[in-house]
């Protein structure tokens, strides 16, 4: 599997072209989309992740399985955690012209993913912006072997990843990120999801147990 590994801010961010995933079932999802906040700062309020629009992959289980299998393969080959995994929440974000997202991270999950199922040929399509988690991010401007990766990671305080049809991004959920300002006229659509480890995991008094078979 052709996977790129970009060690941003000492955090494992993965990206690849997931051309084998069929985008059509995602395009047919008719649940209410999650709008990116207004550029001026819109109060998004409390998010109820139990609603269907935060469980969109449950309606297309084959797509959900395919996305999870990619993460499992990356975990097996690169991260090497001895756990099984599940996709918890999933939603479709739409970003209209003049809008962007608010800076945020994802709690109660391990990795987060973004799948760009639409086409993004128009200029000015908003990128994914990931901020450094480091308070001090170095002062050495070291020359890079491959300039295609942009500025030196030792001095960058954020990284931008432009959308591309069927590109999949996987990043640690603790990384603060946002959708950049949308300048293109056509709305920008993307599928986002969170990945969690399945219990049991941990040790001693910090162990999380599988309670699925325990009567309430």
**Whole-model pTM?**
0.81
pLDDT at position 119 over 60: yes
pLDDT at position 41 over 60: no
Residue spans of the domains in the chain: they are 4-200
> How far is Cα 26 from Cα 118, in angstroms, rounded to an integer?
9
Question: What's the start-to-end Cα distance of the chain, in Å?
Answer: 43
> How far is Cα 102 from Cα 42, in angstroms, rounded to an integer?
9
Q: Between the CA atoms of 139, 140, 142 and 147, what dihedral angle is there, to the nearest 10 degrees?
A: 0
Q: What percent of the chain has pLDDT over 90?
A: 51
Surface-to-core class of residue 137, CB atoms within 10 Å of its CB (0-12 exposed, 13-18 middle, 19+ buried): middle
Per-residue model confidence (pLDDT) at position 215 = 45
Task: Give yes or no for a contact between 125 and 3, defined as CB atoms under 8 angstroms apart.
Answer: no
pLDDT at position 75 over 50: yes
The CB density around residue 30, as the number of other CB atoms within 10 Å, is: 9
pLDDT at position 141 over 80: no
Mean pLDDT, range 58-70, rounded to an integer: 96
> How far is Cα 73 from Cα 69, in angstroms, rounded to an integer?
6
The tens digit of pLDDT for each residue in 165-189 reads: 999 999 999 999 999 999 999 999 9
The tens digit of pLDDT for each residue in 188-207 reads: 999 999 999 988 777 766 77
> How far is Cα 189 from Cα 117, in angstroms, rounded to an integer?
8
Strands (E), 68-110: 85-95
The domain defined by 4-200 carries CATH number 2.60.120.10:
no
């Amino acid at each position: 599997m052709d996977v790129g590994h970009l060690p941003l801010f000492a955090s494992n961010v993965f990206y690849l072209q997931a051309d084998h995933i069929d985008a059509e079932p995602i395009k047919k999802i008719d649940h209410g989309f999650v709008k990116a906040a207004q550029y001026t700062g819109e109060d998004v309020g409390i998010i109820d992740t139990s609603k269907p629009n935060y469980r969109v992959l449950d309606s297309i289980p084959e797509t959900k399985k395919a996305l999870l299998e990619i993460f499992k393969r990356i975990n097996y080959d690169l991260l090497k955690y001895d756990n099984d995994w599940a996709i918890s929440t999933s939603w479709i974000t739409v970003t209209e012209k003049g809008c962007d997202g608010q800076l945020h991270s994802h709690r109660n999950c391990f990795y987060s993913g973004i799948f760009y199922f639409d086409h993004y040929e128009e200029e000015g399509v908003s990128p994914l912006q990931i901020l450094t988690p480091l308070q001090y991010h170095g002062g050495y401007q070291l020359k890079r072997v491959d300039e295609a990766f942009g500025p030196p990671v030792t001095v960058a305080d954020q990284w931008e990843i432009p959308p591309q049809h069927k590109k999949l991004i996987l990043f640690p959920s603790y990384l603060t990120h946002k959708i950049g300002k949308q300048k293109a006229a056509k709305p920008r659509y993307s599928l986002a999801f969170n990945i969690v480890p399945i219990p049991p995991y941990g040790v001693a008094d910090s162990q999380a147990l599988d309670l699925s078979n325990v009567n309430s």
